A and B are shown apart, each in its own frame.
Chain A
């Protein structure tokens, strides 16, 4: 499903973030991406969703080189992905429900049916009670649950998570991890960047370990 073909990334200041990455992530796989800070985890994830273009090599998603897509096709491709960040990236001036429904809203598909899907998901993860609140009223764990609901609400093929438990206490981290695990059980490909050893021990997923921009 996702192919890295000799993918490298050099930033403007001549710093190598990734060098010659060759790897493949299959459909429905749960993959951990690990490595110390600055190892290139975020760069690798950004290149999957087209947030960064490789300086060299190619990244194919579903057989299409992401770096060659025009903005419209990239937008359509991103509709097959759910992306979760360490800092949640919720919109503070919108309610929790509006945040969860953001993908439908930007696709112009904020229908009654899609709102019901969001409702079911929010009820499942116990944040429906906050639907009319703004995110600042929620705890860190609850905010991250809302962010994950936003990523899952469209039933994406690929779920990309960049250190989603980095700002959470162990209990919340465990809960959040279970959300990704369930998504994986339903067939989504999950790429989960973390350096939380405890999480790695919870699930026997494949581990892509990065060290100074190279596969370790």
Chain B
């Protein structure tokens, strides 16, 4: 093992330029992995969060008791939160939404209502239950924005996965060619090792080990970059998406495994294709 590691480091030192190229490729790939996987991870979280925030606005008939109706709505299965919005609060909300049309609204023209929140899966059932209650005039749902958002998130995730697959394939390919050039340069040495009685594993193991070392190095650089980048981005994005996280343990583990795979697999493939002819 010590010999293999020593040879791997010697190999990295001996082929400084291709090793540097490999380090840059794997670091960039792992950094891109971090960025896109955090996009997927956070959009998934955000979608989950927003799916529980579907607004159900309940308009009451004249003379209905908002407190009693609120209590009844709270008891409906699937309702997560209930708030009574008084006519004055409703007016304030309208003024905020339509600041230029302030003149058109007066306290007597804006009715109060009850605002409930439910998850996307329960919202239709909640609506029909609420409609059956005495004192309810109408119920409106604000779920269309969620459907558009869900589509957007879905396509963003799909795009991110596509980019990640592309980056992975490109990295393996770049590693493959960079190592293959090295293997071709050392073909005579490899053949000589075979003639001296080296087993195939003995010949290949330094390549696999140096791929592993480069993979670990690349993943560490990528994680470091993402840590710096993430600490800048987190502060800004967490204002818009609650609980935005740029670096998670599972991401780090995944990127380390992917980088090791890129390094070792690329190296091994290059070796098999480059040096198998005796």
Contacts and interface: CB of A to CB of B under 8 A. Distances in A.
A165 to B, nearest CB: 19
Given A108-B3, A110-B3, A71 B193 contact: no
Interface stretch (A21-29, A99-107, A125-133, A205-213): A99-107
A48 B188 CA distance: 20
B249 interface: no
B100 interface: no
Interface string B174-190: 00000000000000110
B199 A91 contact: no
A78 interface: yes
Contact of B188 (A49, A89, A107, A108): A89
A106 B195 CA distance: 10
Nearest to A82: B196
A102 B278 CA distance: 18
Contacts of A91: 189, 192
Which range contains the number of B residues in contact with the other chain? 10 to 19
> Which among B3, B188, B197, B200 has the greatest number of chain A C-beta atoms within 10 A?
B197
B17 interface: no
A7 interface: no
Please report whether the interface of chain B is mostly helix, strand, loop or mixed according to DSSP.
helix
Interface in A127-159: 150
A102 B188 contact: no
Contacts of B96: none
Contacts of B147: none
Interface in B197-232: 197-200, 202-203
Contact of B197 (A51, A89, A103, A110): A103
Interface in A63-90: 71-72, 75-79, 81, 83, 89
Given A89-B188, A91-B189, A93-B14, A75 B194 contact: yes
A71 B197 CA distance: 10
A76 B198 CA distance: 8
B200 A106 contact: no
Interface residues of A, number: 22
Contacts of B199: 71-72, 75-76
Given A51-B278, A93-B14, A106 B188 contact: no
Given A89-B192, A91-B189, A91-B192, A105 B197 contact: no
Contacts of B192: 89, 91, 102
B3 A72 contact: no
Contact of A51 (B14, B188, B195, B198): B195
Contacts of B14: 93
A110 B199 CA distance: 16
A51 B192 CA distance: 11
Interface of B: 3, 14, 188-189, 192-200, 202-203, 278
